[in-house]
């Protein structure tokens, strides 16, 4: 990977060879070895996992789908992605009918009124969502290895999901998913719970077991108010615990989440949720424009999405933090990777802010107006294929930093930089590191 900086005053092309550092190279690693289990369900279970092995069950409502369908259509691949959208009632309205071929095929959720009345369930909508596990499982079995449950505003990065799931033995019981970023959410429900908006994933054998147990489980736990918690305790009763996935993001945060997305953990990005509860992730764009803009980079290379690369230009004492496909930060100081890997706390906690920290299930660093610590921030402007070997991502300055140069490291101001060009290989990056 290499970087080109462009001045806002005149075309200033600076070839900074900081990416020749072996720690910043984009060298590939060998794919993790694949298991070779014996076929258990009449299929070849030793073949590499691909998109056809994933079955999606998306839970939504007819009312919300009028405006949320853009989330799903941003990543859904018609005639390639398998799965269904489960609505509470049949769709109506000229904006929904005829049903769009860009959307998943829909089903109307089962009427479980009798079960709700028998058990006096405290959260009928949550019970319907849990019941959806059984409903999606019964739809189709041929070749399914993983059942992925999500919401109608879940954004999935399916190529990365295929790569990550290919590392697990789908013939065994697996319950995978992301935890909440908000510490109290995990405390209120469970630190062993996958949060469904980020998507939880069941291996085929576990989905099969759960499909038989859902009715019994809903009758056993009519006092639980969270679909994700009900699912977790049901799976726990079957004898399985959560395998956390760091790339699955519930986004239980408010406000500006750019600090989190600019310092993504070293794991493939698998999902984003609750984007309508946060600020648009790109300046001067609305929520849906931002989602489609991000997916332009994902369409060319999901393996590098949000993967943080940290490098240095010693002559100017600058540190670079690149979140591929999203943002670039320039610091007028040399910071260790351990510092730059901490997200800047640009966001606020989900719900009521506790009196005292900690607030999050991750370490953060505070925003600052210290010119030696505050970054110059650039966001994705464009992404394009250059040739058969390279992808060019261009990042433009969002706002002037408005601070003097850092005198501590030599007064080498980066104010004149208006655009940054990053060239990266087009080959897939299976594993990532700083």
pLDDT value, residue 158: 98
Between the alpha carbon of residue 90 and those of residues 86, 93, 99, 185, 207, the distances in Å are 9, 10, 11, 33, 26
pLDDT-flagged residues of the chain (< 50):
8-42, 432-434
pLDDT value, residue 429: 79
Question: What are φ and ψ of residue 44, in 5° steps?
Answer: -80, 100
pLDDT value, residue 356: 87
What's the maximum distance between 2 C-alpha atoms anywhere in the chain? 73
pLDDT value, residue 20: 37
pLDDT value, residue 43: 52
The answer to whether 5 and 420 are in contact (CB under 8 A) is yes
Q: List, for residues 169-226, the tens digit of each pLDDT value.
A: 999 999 999 999 999 999 999 999 999 999 999 999 999 999 999 999 999 999 999 9
pLDDT value, residue 22: 40
pLDDT value, residue 6: 57
Nearest to 72 by CA among 249, 271, 284: 271
Question: What are φ and ψ of residue 172, in 5° steps?
Answer: -105, 170
Nearest to 177 by CA among 232, 127, 125, 134: 232
pLDDT value, residue 116: 97
Whole-model pTM above 0.85? Answer: yes
Pairing of strands 155-156, 253-255: unpaired
The Cα–Cα gap between 31 and 303 comes to 13
pLDDT value, residue 13: 34
pLDDT value, residue 430: 67
pLDDT value, residue 269: 98
The answer to whether 190 and 184 are in contact (CB under 8 A) is no
């Amino acid at each position: 990977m290499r970087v080109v900086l462009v001045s806002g005053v005149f075309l200033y092309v600076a070839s900074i060879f900081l990416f020749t550092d072996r720690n910043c190279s984009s060298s590939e690693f060998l794919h993790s070895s694949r298991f070779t289990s014996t076929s258990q369900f009449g299929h070849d279970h030793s073949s590499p996992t691909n998109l056809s092995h994933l079955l999606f069950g998306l839970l939504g409502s007819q009312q919300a789908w009028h405006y949320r369908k853009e989330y799903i259509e941003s990543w859904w691949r018609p005639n390639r992605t398998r799965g269904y959208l489960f609505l509470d009632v049949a769709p109506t309205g000229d904006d929904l009918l005829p049903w769009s071929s860009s959307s998943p095929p829909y089903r109307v959720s089962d009427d479980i009124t009798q079960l709700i009345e028998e058990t006096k369930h405290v959260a009928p909508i949550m019970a319907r969502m849990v019941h959806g596990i059984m409903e999606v499982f019964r739809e189709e079995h041929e070749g399914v290895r993983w059942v992925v449950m999500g919401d109608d505003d879940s954004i999935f990065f399916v190529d990365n999901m295929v790569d990550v799931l290919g590392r697990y033995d789908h013939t065994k019981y697996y319950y995978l998913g992301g935890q909440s970023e908000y510490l109290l959410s995990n405390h209120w429900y469970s630190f062993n719970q996958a949060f469904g908006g980020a998507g939880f994933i069941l291996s085929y054998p576990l989905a099969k077991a759960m499909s038989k147990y859902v009715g019994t489980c809903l009758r056993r736990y009519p006092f639980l108010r969270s679909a994700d918690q009900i699912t977790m305790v049901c799976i726990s009763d079957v004898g399985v615990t959560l395998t956390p996935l760091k790339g699955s993001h519930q986004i239980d945060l408010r406000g500006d989440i750019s600090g989190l997305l600019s310092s993504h953990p070293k794991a493939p990005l698998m999902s984003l949720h609750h984007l309508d509860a946060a600020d648009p992730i790109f300046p001067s764009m609305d929520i849906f424009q931002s989602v489609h803009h991000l997916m332009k980079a994902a369409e060319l290379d999901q393996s590098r999405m949000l993967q943080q690369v940290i490098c240095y230009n010693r002559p100017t004492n600058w540190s670079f933090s690149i979140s591929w496909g999203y943002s670039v930060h320039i610091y007028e100081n040399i910071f260790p990777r351990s510092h730059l890997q901490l997200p800047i706390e640009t966001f606020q906690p989900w719900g009521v802010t506790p009196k005292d920290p900690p607030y999050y299930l991750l370490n953060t660093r505070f925003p600052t107006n210290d010119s030696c610590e505050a970054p110059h921030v650039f966001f994705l402007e464009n992404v394009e294929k250059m040739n058969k070997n390279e992808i060019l991502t261009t990042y433009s300055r969002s706002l002037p930093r408005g601070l003097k140069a850092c005198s501590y490291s030599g007064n080498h101001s980066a104010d004149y930089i208006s655009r940054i060009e990053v060239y990266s290989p087009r080959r897939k990056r299976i594993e990532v590191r700083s």
